[in-house]
Every structure is written in structure tokens, then in C-alpha cells.
Amino acid sequence: MKRNVVSLLLGTTASTLCLFSLPTLGAVEDVNFDVSTAAPGYSIEGIPHKTKTGLEFPLKLKKSQDNEGVNLYGKTIKDLLVNIDFETSDRIRVKIADKDQKQVPVPDSPLGLERPKLRKSAKKPNYEFKYTDDPFGFQVIRKNDKAIIFDTTNYPLVFEDQYLEITTAVPDNANIYGFGETTLPNFRRDNIKNVTTIFARDAGCPFYENVYGHHPFYMEIRDGKAHGALLLNAHGMDVLTVEGRITWKIIGGILEFYIFVPDDNKPNSVVHSYTDLVGKPMMISHWMLGWHQCRWGYRDIDHVESVIQGYKDHNIPLEVGWVDIDYMDTFQDFTFDPKSFPEDRMVKLGQELHANRQRFVVMVNAGKHYKTGYEAYERGHELDVFMKNPDGEEYVGQVWPGYTVYPDWFHPNASKYWNYHVGAWMERLSLDGVWIDMDEPAAFCLGSCGTGKKDVSPPSLEPWTLPQEVQDEMFAEEEAAIKKLETDYVQDSRQLLYPNYAINNGHGNLSTKTGSMIAYHYGDIPHYDLHSLYGHSECKLTRDALIEHNKTERPFILTRSSFSGSGRYAGHWTGDNASKWEYLKSSITEIFNVQMFGISYSGSDVCGFNDNTTEILCTRWQELGAFYPFARNHNAKQPISQEPFRWETTAEATRIALGIRYTLLPYYYTLFEESNRLGTGVWRPLIFEYPEIDDFLDNDDQVLVGTDVLLSPVVYENETSVDAEFPPGVWYSWYDLKPVDSSTDSVRTITLDAPLTHIPVHVRGGAILPLKSPTLLVDETYESPYSLLIALDERGEAQGRLYIDDGHSLEQSEISDITFTFKKGVLEVDGCFGYTKAEKLDTIKIVGVNHHLGDVTKASIAHFKETVDLTKNEDNVIVLENAGIDLTSSFVVHFE
């Protein structure tokens, strides 16, 4: 192997290729776990030259005996071009693409990912880049400890038109997090033998299979230090995380890696760097933090109104009423069922919710009914915005209305089409947001099953309910039709319907239950190349439409399908889970992943979507779900009703947990501002805050909300206690403010009592939490004065932060960003005080005073002449009440 050194780049040697032959998982018996050792690889041709941002050099396919290892699953591409860009101090891009640029990358646009426009390379990167030239391989090395964090040098590179393979070495038993979207019981990935398939898919959350989103991003924590990598590629892929390596097997596109190396080596900093690239999570409005209620299967508008009244009757907060597809006339978007959900009643419902200071959201699906006279179809047909068959006719699948067409979000007329329909719909119902579903896109048939069948009803709106022999016959007919289209019209030399490398897609055939791979987008780009971007691009255009409709309000969008960067446009729920204990537990893992992917406004269907819940399961789920960043009870039409007031224990647990959530609203809102600015998650695993503590590598039963609130929920059946791990330091119970028996310098596992209506919640010593007095509504809660909970650490100190704005405007003219510092008996409040209408700070409560403040009985507030008496609670808590301090300027409070 020859070595080369260019500028600051150092050469390296490579060892022999490694062949892995591991047993496969039961669900993935068709996946090839081996690396393609027979592939000839590539070598650098010529001399690499420097660019403004790094390096560029061509690769040439190495010769092989009798073409061994060539055309493994597609057509081998002989000439490649490599670009190395030292983009920032903590981000390097390695792009390996075909020289002729015939492969389809993720579009450089808001519908894909807008690449940063760079003028020069980073001056002091946190990484080094090394490469070998024959065969070509590369390493990325973290400078501060010389750890090789990405290393392809001992593995082959395969680059074909429909099969790309690349591998990086990782330590045995590596701590890998990410890769999704898939439903998993554990946050840390199984790297003994595991495959993650990444390909957007409509499926009811089966474990270990690909579902709605496409996120080829991961993080590794090694010896307490974190780094991450994104393969920016929208094509279907299998990612093999096995002992000692990660292997990507992709069915198209290019290899475009972004590797993230923050200087402080912290997991949260990796997420920060990742979202610097893909976009920061959207900023939410106050109301979005409230409790949401929905169901698919409300019988009529009376049923919806009775549920809303049920919350009020049982004194349970409800901020947002939702209606699923039930309201539609034969499931057509932008219509009303004239009998069960007449327009005047729906309009009135929205008005009544708003009069009660509540909100209103309904669903909009991706597919539009293929029907004469239906405005959403006719206008789209006129603007030519629907996806096409290879013969130029409109691609027609099937969803809830029957045969449906699908907007092509990449078409230049798509914005005009969508702005009109979304804006008119928002105006018609006075909606507060849009819920996007079925946007993978989902379909109930294979291929363009409705071609030539305008105004015709399919055999069944739910074909999976037909007899199996009928389903088989329909599938055979659809498969024959789609193959004929490919044979007669597809000019692409690739095998788009049945690529030779079959990723482990849960539905098998790539076109099953989604858009056909040989449907076409604007510019004659096959759906094969853009499939996993469909929901992402719809989110972008929906956000644009909402802002066009109302240029002052922050848009609310909830999406099922997502891609890297979707969090800047929308929130996400984890889809059609089930009312089972394993889904309660897995919701923690799923939300951790989604937060890590840059979608901080996210949650799971509380109490489960499919199947019947139970009183105990729903009670435990309401306790945890009350703290989801996006908190909504939602279920399907077949199961029993599961609103939290259906059982008194569930109602009581919900009142307690939501009381805590609403008390914490200023803290949550401050975390969302931090997420919008930095990219960090609102929910965090313990290992992200304490990466140096190996005990937390596998902890996915507990949740940190930000840095300061620790949840220890019951997620296992029949349990009434929790074995909770506490990080070093002091932690106080939320309920009685007593410290747990935890060590200040080591991790302790403590058994906490958790009777049915109780979720253990603890506050970190060293935190100052801004709080409100909870009511049933977010607006009313925010109208109450602020209070501070100062939880002292072992040194008698604490810090905190409060962000204030008007809570809803897209652009802010006034904000306050306030810091709180408590030390040596003095509270100093400083920062930016631009928000002039802030409520007063009324109460200050200090916890853990015994060994730090002595017999303090009074407090003096700077600029006030008189001292204020304090109340003392059980020797460990002091309270300053009726302070009446305006949060419009800096001040100091001395506790004497």
C-alpha cells in the first residue's frame, strides 16, 4: 500500500481486510452481514490538490482479476471524485461522488438540505484527516486525545449505481446511539449483531423495523468522549452495527459524510454541531406546551365536545382539542362530513375553544382524492403538481378516500397550490395548526393501481381486510401493471422496482404501501431517489404556507414522516404505537432518538394508539406522558376510550403530573429556546449529561428534562417502586423537597416508592428553577407571578436561567434572558431585560439551607429600604413571599 502526504495531511498504513460472518437476527435473515471483501477498491489518480475549503482528488477503480468484485449489485462506477472540506472547527465533510454526477444526492435546497456556503477552511479544527491512496481509505482523528473516530482504511469501498458500501472501524462493544427511525426497547444500540434499515415506511411501530423517518445519524461515546457522523443520503440503506465496525449498504446516491468533533467532547455538543448543519429545532409557542387530546374514531361532533367537557368536569388541564380524519367527507382533505361533522358545528367548536382560551388542530393527509369536481384535485391537476407515472400520466395510488394522487413537493407550482389550500383551510376553521399524516407517503396498494379509474371506488378502503385470496389477486394485478410501466416507459437503466441488493424493508417490496419507485417527480427524478424526503419536503411547504397565511404567529406542524433537519419545520410524534407496556418503555428510547435527531418538539401517543389500554397502564403512561415535550393522549377507533378521566386513579395521577408540568412551564419554555438556539434536546438521557459515568451508558428508564429535573417513571407492569440511579451531587424530591440518600461524589442506586398515582421527580442540587402557579390553561398559568426554586448543591450554590418573550410571535421585538446565581447567601439576578411586560417575581424558595445559611430569618432586596421576614419549613427550606419584584432590571437579594 502506498502512502501519500499532502499539506497538513498525514499518511497511514492499512492492515488486511476483515471478513465478518455473524449469525443474523431472526427478523433479518436476508441481510448480508459480511463486507464485500472481493471488491477491488479505488486508488487515488494523480495528485490531490488544495481547494479553498480543503482537498479534492479523483479516484479510479482498481483492476481486478476477471472483474471479481465488480458489479456486485449494480453497475460499478469507475471514476469518482473526493472532496474533503474542513468546514468548521468541529465539522468535516468527506464527499465521495461519481465524477459524471449521474447519481442523485440529497438536493441542495430547503426540501433536502441546504449546504453551508463556505469561503475558507477552518483555521483550528479539532480533528486531523489522514488517507491512504492505494487502496483509498481515510481516517478522522480527534486531536485532543489522538483517538481515531472514523476509519475506513481496512475495509473495501464499493461504489455502484445501486449499491454503495463503506465501513468504519469502531471499538468492540462500542457505545452507539442513533440511526433511525425504528422502534427499539433500548437507546444504546445492540452492536453484537444488528441491522437498522433506514427507509421511510408507514407501519404500526413494529420493533426493530424501519418506520416513518429517515435519519442516518449516530453518536458514539468512547471513554467518556463523544463524536458523531451523518451520512447525508436519502436512499434506502441497511446500517450494520456489529462487533468492531459499522457498515453502510445503500441502494443509490453518493457517500456524503459529515463528522462532528466538538472541542469539549460532550454528547450535547455533538447534537449542537449536528443541528448547526441540518437546522435548529423550531421555536414553539406557549400553548404548544399544554396538554393535547385526540382520537381517531370520534363518532361525531357531539362526541368531541363531550370529551372536551369531560376534561373540565374532572379538573384536568386541556389546551388543545384535535380531530382526526373522522371530520372529513369520505376522508377527503379540506371537506366536512355533512352529517357527523357539519361545517357550522366544526367552526363553532373552534370558536368555543378559542373563547375558552384553548386551541384547535385537525389532520391533513398527503394523498388527494382522484375525483372530478374535488377542488384539491382539480386545482392540482390544473397546476400539474401531482407525481407522474413513467408514461406522463398522473400517478394514482390508494389511501383513505379511495384512489388518490400525490402532490409533488419538488414541483415549482407546489407552493402556489399548497399556500392556497392550507391558507384557505386555516381561515375557514380558524385553526391553530396542521397535523400532517400519511406523508411517507402511505398507500394501500402497489403501484399506480388507480390509473384510468377517476371517480371509481376501489374494492375496499381497507384492502387488508379482504380475503387473502382477493388480496393476492389484487397484488398480482398491481405488480403486473407496475412491471409493464417499467418495461414500456422507464428509460433509467437501473432496476428501480427490484434492486439487486434488497434492503431489509419491513414491507419487502420498496413500493409496497408507499409511492411507486418508478413514479416521477419534477425534473424526471424517480421517487426511488427522493422517497424518504417526501414528508420532509411537505413539512417545509406547509410551514411556508402557514407563515404566508399568518406572518406573525409561530407555525404549528406535527408530522409523522421526517428526515435530517425536519425539526426546523415541524414537531413529530412516534406514530402508531400500541397500548402495551413495552411501548410505554420504548417511548423513552424513541423520544431520546428523535431529540438527538434535532426534533425537540416530540412525543408518543400517551396510553397507546392500537389495542386496549388498561387502567394501570394508562395511569403510568399519563404520569410519564405528562412530561413529554409534546404531550398528547391519542388512540385508534377500535380500542376502548382512554381519555384520562375514564378512571379515577388515572385522572388523579394526571392531575398531579400535569400540575408539575404546568408549574415547570417557564423552565420548559426556556429549554425550548435553548434548543432553538443551540440544538440540544429538551429530554436527555443521563449519559448525555454525564458521559464520564459508565453506569449511565445503558440507562434508558430515566429521563432528564434539561439538566435539572430527573424523572424516574414506572415503565414495567406490576411495579410499585423504581430502582433509580442518581448522579453525584444532591437531588431533592419534588414533592417534599427532601434530599435523597445520594452521595456527592459517586452514583447511587436508590429504591423509590412509586404507588400507582405517583411518578418520582427530583431536582438537581445546584439548580434554580423558574416556576408558575399551575391552572387548567397555559395562558392563565403564565399570568400568575413567577417563583424561584433554589436547590442548593453541596457548596451551598445554585444557578439557573429564564427566557421570556410574548410566547407566540414569529419575530420578537422584546425578550428577556435572565440569569440567576446564588452564592454565599446572595441571589444575584442579571442578564438582558428587554421584555417589559413580564410578571413579577413573587416567591423565592431555598432548599437545602441547613449547612449553608444557618439561622437566616430575613432578606433584604437591593433598592428596597426594608428587610423582609422569611418563613421556614422543616429546618431545610426557607421561603421569601410577596416579594413583588419586577423582572425588568438586575437586582440582588441578601439572605441575612
How many CB atoms are closer than 10 A to CB 779? 15
Distance between CA atoms of 822 and 119, rounded to whole angstroms?
44
User: Phi and psi at residue 120, in whole multiples of 5°?
Assistant: -155, 165
Amino acid at 30: D
Three-class secondary structure of residue 595 per DSSP: helix
Mark out the alpha helices in 614-733 (DSSP H runs).
615-625, 648-663, 665-678, 686-689
Which candidate in 256, 333, 440, 689 is catalytic? 440
Distance between CA atoms of 554 and 285, rounded to whole angstroms?
7
pLDDT of residue 851: 67
Element (H, E) at 850: none
The sign of the dihedral angle between the CA atoms of 372, 376, 377, 383 is positive
pLDDT confidence bin for 708, thresholds 50/70/90? very high
Cell of 423: 391558507
Q: Is 161 a catalytic residue?
A: no
**Percent share of the chain, pLDDT over 90:** 89
Buried b / exposed e over 239-278, threshold 16 CB at 10 Å, is bbbbeebbbbbbbbbbbbbbbbbbeebbbbbbbbbbbbbb
Distance between CA atoms of 814 and 14, rounded to whole angstroms?
58
Among 607, 547, 556, which residue's Cα sits nearest to residue 580? 607
Q: Is 576 a catalytic residue?
A: yes
pLDDT of residue 42: 97
Tens digits of per-residue pLDDT, 323-339? Answer: 999 999 999 999 999 99
Domains of the chain: 2-11+21-278 (2.60.40.1760), 286-666 (3.20.20.80), 785-895 (2.60.40.1180)
pLDDT of residue 37: 87
427 within 8 A of 550, measured Cβ to Cβ: no
Tens digits of per-residue pLDDT, 37-51? Answer: 889 999 999 889 999
Which candidate in 202, 333, 576, 652 is catalytic? 576
Distance between CA atoms of 84 and 131, rounded to whole angstroms?
11
Cell of 555: 407555525
Tens digits of per-residue pLDDT, 566-594? Answer: 999 999 999 999 999 999 999 999 999 99
Q: 432 in the Ramachandran plot: left (φ > 0), alpha (ψ -120 to 50) or beta?
A: alpha
pLDDT of residue 191: 84
Element (H, E) at 277: helix 267-278
Distance between CA atoms of 351 and 780, rounded to whole angstroms?
18
Q: Does residue 3 carry a pLDDT above 90?
A: no
pLDDT of residue 57: 96
Q: Is 437 a catalytic residue?
A: yes
Distance between CA atoms of 844 and 830, rounded to whole angstroms?
16
Cell of 625: 406522558
Among 134, 164, 309, which residue's Cα sits nearest to residue 235? 164
Among 112, 151, 88, which residue's Cα sits nearest to residue 410? 112
Instruction: Write a three-state SS string for 745-802.
Output: CCCEEEEEECCCCCCCEEEECCEEEEECCCCCCHHHHHHCCEEEEEECCCCCCEEEEE
CA distances from 494 to 238, 460, 483, 738, 765 (A): 19, 33, 13, 66, 60
**Distance of alpha carbon 30 from the chain centroid:** 29
pLDDT of residue 16: 27
pTM, full prediction: 0.95
Q: Does residue 504 carry a pLDDT above 50?
A: yes
CA distances from 734 to 29, 657, 726, 778, 879 (A): 48, 11, 14, 21, 16
- Side by side, the strands of the sheet bearing 397-399 are 368-369, 402-405, 397-399
Burial (0-12, 13-18, 19+ Cβ within 10 Å), 350:
buried
Which candidate in 90, 238, 319, 437 is catalytic? 437
Q: Does residue 7 carry a pLDDT above 70?
A: no
Q: How many residues does the structure list for the chain?
A: 896
Among 698, 675, 674, 672, which residue's Cα sits nearest to residue 687? 698
Q: Does residue 799 carry a pLDDT above 90?
A: yes
DSSP secondary-structure letter at 160? Answer: B
Cell of 887: 423582572
pLDDT confidence bin for 865, thresholds 50/70/90? low
Among 252, 163, 854, 225, which residue's Cα sits nearest to residue 528? 252
Amino acid at 729: G
